[in-house]
Amino acid sequence: MASWVLTAMDLACQKAQRTLFEGVSFSVPAGSWLHVEGGNGCGKTSLLRILCGLSPAARGQVLWPASAQPPISRPDRSVLHYIGHALGLKPDLTACENLCVDAQVSGLALSREQALQALAAQGLQSRAHLPVRVLSQGQRQGVALARLRTSPARLWVLDEPLVGLDAQATATACALLQSHVDAGGAVVMTSHHDVGLQGPGARLQLGREIGREKSLEASRS
């Protein structure tokens, strides 16, 4: 098994002829976390989407372990699980149905009982049979996080995963992320909250000087 999950090499991102960042390079080892930080508009979401293969980089590449079987050119849901600002939930389906349909579309096996257990672990047992459209923002976020509990993916890429959560749900989510890292998984995320993950990790600071190019600072924890 490879000791690293992915490596980014000299990534650059441009939007509307403006450079958001460039020269971004890092590796994410198994059993570690990477917290991408920076102000609004610095390219945090764009970086995550590039890592997931959802947006092209202006320059650079994302490498996956050559030892992976089968070899990976672009990750699927068995390798990487992404939660972005758009949670990808079907509003007219119940929370439980959303988990089951999402697994089916991704080619993953998930029983109704397993879906209910995942929702209960997020504190949403009383909301499991309600349409997602009647849930609060925090409860919808919880449904999206419940999908992580049923995912076989080794790498989780999460864009502001704690948005809208109350104190108890935040603690539950942070414990979920920590348990994934402790089990040998990897987490790449943005968050305005201090998630407080323990163990090997790094913080990447995407910053911009006015009129000059984006820069990247990394500090290991």
State pLDDT tens for residues 101-157: 999 988 888 999 999 999 999 999 999 999 999 999 999 999 999 999 999 999 999
Q: State the Cα angle at 12 between 8 and 203, rounded to 5°.
A: 55
Report the first-to-last Cα separation within the chain, whole angstroms. 24
The pLDDT of residue 75 is 65
Q: How far is CA 46 from CA 36, 53, 106, in A?
A: 11, 11, 23
| Cα–Cα nearest to 87, from 121, 39, 135 | 135
The pLDDT of residue 217 is 40
Name the stretches of the chain with pLDDT < 50. 1, 67, 69-71, 208-219
Percent of the chain with pLDDT over 90: 74
| Whole-angstrom distance, CA of residue 82 vs CA of residue 2 | 21
Residues 27-45 as b or e (16 or more Cβ within 10 Å = b):
ebbbbbbbbbebeeebbbb
The pLDDT of residue 218 is 46
